[in-house]
Amino acid sequence: MNAPAEVDVVVIGGGATGAGVLRDLAMRGLRTALVERGDFASGTSGRYHGLLHSGARYVESDPLSARHCIAENAVLRRIAPATVEPTGGYFVATPDDPDEYLERFPVACATAGIEAEPMPLDELFRAEPLLNREIRAAYRVPDASLEPWELVEANLASAREHGAATHRYTAVIGFERSPDGSITAVRVRDERAGEERAIECRAVVSAAGAWAGKVAVLAGARLAMSPGKGSMLILNRRMTTAVVNRLAPPGDGDILVPVHTVCILGTTDIAVPDPDDVHVTRDEVDALLADGERLVPGIRHARVLRAYAGTRPLYDDPDHEGKHPDESREISRAHHVIDHGQRDGVGGFWSIVGGKLTTYRLMARDVADAVATSLGVDAPCRTADEPLPSPATGTPYWLGDRLAALEAEGGGDAELICECELVTRRRLTQALDERGDSSLDDLRRTTRLGMGPCQGAFCTPRAAAMVDARRPGTANLPLRGFLDERFRGTRPIAWGDQLTELWLAAGIFRGTLAVAGLADLSEAERATG
């Protein structure tokens, strides 16, 4: 690691919030460094449904969060248009949804300042022919689809332009504190090299989301998080052109989000003691499909490519102690800035918790305001005005972007490493240049490698050979790791065509390529087994 040994602020957590905090502070002229225990956007930010909220989802249950969402929805379209596909969204009342909510919804939207336009049903079914014909009412809202990996990467890139340092695979293992209790340094470990060191600092922002409770404990502070697991299914094509929400209080299987060439059906909400528990159960899959049927009849016969889960960073606000609901969904989605100096006597340590990916910038602003003030910096927040530097285009994303870029690159005949997601050799080479020491899963987050129907059956060995060419002798563990990772998400939904696809992959990797027979893998297994 060639990181500075001393900065003003260390930001913990490389999701959207941490990246946003880093950018905000760096733009105010502070010297900053960000540490992330895994890859950037590999936690909750990279494991969500891809929705840019209008806020209409929360107009009744959480009006503050709703107002934050609609404000930030407009900001993100302005500062990061290429990460937003302006699909629009609908709230639809199925026969199972309560009448009284249908009546209150437009009023609540108006109160929150969210445009909710009644949609005539004949128009709705013309626009979205697969929707349930028993839908009784619909409103159009400014929901959209959002690409989280590009958004996080763009924030980090902007922060780096302003002098910030970013370190992935760098875990926080402890803190150094002065006699008065203030933080003086963050102790970190490079998870790949195994080296430990300290980064001296004047302040720390924990943007560790669902893991913020664990980080606080290391600093001698306390923070009661209530991680909520949300599971989602990826269907192999878009069922709708716009986001579709159930017109009901937030519940399971209540949203369908078109994302790139696929769509995401979400979301369950299960309180989990361990934020690392992102295991999707068969019961969750069944529940999602059963509820999805109410939006799109027959959806259970569609091809599901994969199941995955993320962990919501829900904060158990002590102000509400004594009336904790069992369902984690009822805990507020609005965010909280916690000054652990005031609260726990740990000076220079802040946590930013709760919130939504949609409101990451606002969360960042609020905590950055507090930190800057305490450090005597009066530069204002500029993140709402200055566009993010990448991706380069200033126009909104549309579905044809990748094919258009491919045609521009190779006259339609650029070499494809991943056919499903149109990832070219050039794109992967560029990703390897930028992030040389990446696993195949890291490259997936950057390029969408292996995210299509075959779930890596064809691109995995091709990409491994590229990694080997770059760093001879290092490709086998990444290859093996990617097979494990892709299998984990396929297994809960392995039936029908996707089970046959899994058997094809098994034939390739166990039959023809005999992966287990790779010399260093069998040695590694002997050593551990």
Query: Which is closer to other proteins, CB of 235 or CB of 381?
Result: 235
511 binds other proteins (CB under 8 A): yes
Q: How far is the C-alpha of 471 from the C-alpha of 104, rounded, in Å?
A: 60
Residue span binding other proteins (CB under 8 A) among the ranges 328-336, 394-402, 437-445, 495-503: 495-503
For the record, the structure tokens of 32 come out as 């900053």
175 binds other proteins (CB under 8 A): no
Residue 390 φ/ψ region, left for φ over 0, alpha for ψ in the -120 to 50 degree band, beta for the rest: beta
3-state SS, 58-99, equals: HCCCCHHHHHHHHHHHHHHHHHCHHHEECCCEEEEECCCCCH
Q: How far is the C-alpha of 49 from the C-alpha of 188, rounded, in Å?
A: 31
CB of 466 to other proteins, least distance (A): 9
Q: What are phi and psi of 262, to 5 degrees?
A: -120, -175
Residue span binding other proteins (CB under 8 A) among the ranges 53-61, 350-358, 428-436, 519-527: 519-527
Query: Which is closer to other proteins, CB of 178 or CB of 522?
Result: 522
413 binds other proteins (CB under 8 A): yes
468 binds other proteins (CB under 8 A): yes
Residues in contact with other proteins, counted by CB under 8 A, come to a total of 55
Instruction: Name which position in 514, 526, 527, 528 contacts other proteins (CB under 8 A).
Output: 514
Q: How far is the C-alpha of 484 from the C-alpha of 104, rounded, in Å?
A: 47
Query: Which is closer to other proteins, CB of 106 or CB of 461?
Result: 461
CB of 292 to other proteins, least distance (A): 12
Query: Which is closer to other proteins, CB of 395 or CB of 512?
Result: 512
Instruction: Name which position in 473, 526, 528, 529 contacts other proteins (CB under 8 A).
Output: 473
Return the SS3 of 451.
coil
Would you say 458 and 419 are in contact if contact means Cβ atoms under 8 Å apart?
yes
465 binds other proteins (CB under 8 A): yes
Q: How far is the C-alpha of 198 from the C-alpha of 396, rounded, in Å?
A: 41
494 binds other proteins (CB under 8 A): yes
517 binds other proteins (CB under 8 A): yes
414 binds other proteins (CB under 8 A): yes
- DSSP string over 185-230: EEEEEETTT--EEEEE-SEEEE--GGGHHHHHHHTT----B--EEE
CB of 259 to other proteins, least distance (A): 22
Would you say 331 and 355 are in contact if contact means Cβ atoms under 8 Å apart?
no
Q: What are phi and psi of 332, to 5 degrees?
A: -60, 140
405 binds other proteins (CB under 8 A): no
CA angle 369–374–379, rounded 5-degree value: 50
308 binds other proteins (CB under 8 A): no
Cis preceding linkage at 492, omega within 30: no
The residues pairing with 418 across neighbouring beta strands, listed in sequence order, are: 423
Residues 226-285 that bind other proteins (CB under 8 A): 282, 285
Instruction: Name which position in 103, 286, 327, 434 contacts other proteins (CB under 8 A).
Output: 286
483 binds other proteins (CB under 8 A): yes
CB of 416 to other proteins, least distance (A): 6
503 binds other proteins (CB under 8 A): yes
469 binds other proteins (CB under 8 A): yes
Query: Which is closer to other proteins, CB of 300 or CB of 343?
Result: 300
Q: How far is the C-alpha of 250 from the C-alpha of 258, rounded, in Å?
A: 19
Please report, as ranges, the residues that interact with other proteins according to CB under 8 A.
282, 285-286, 289, 300, 410, 413-417, 419, 425, 458, 461-462, 464-465, 468-469, 472-473, 475-476, 479-480, 483-484, 486-487, 491, 494-496, 499-500, 503-520, 522
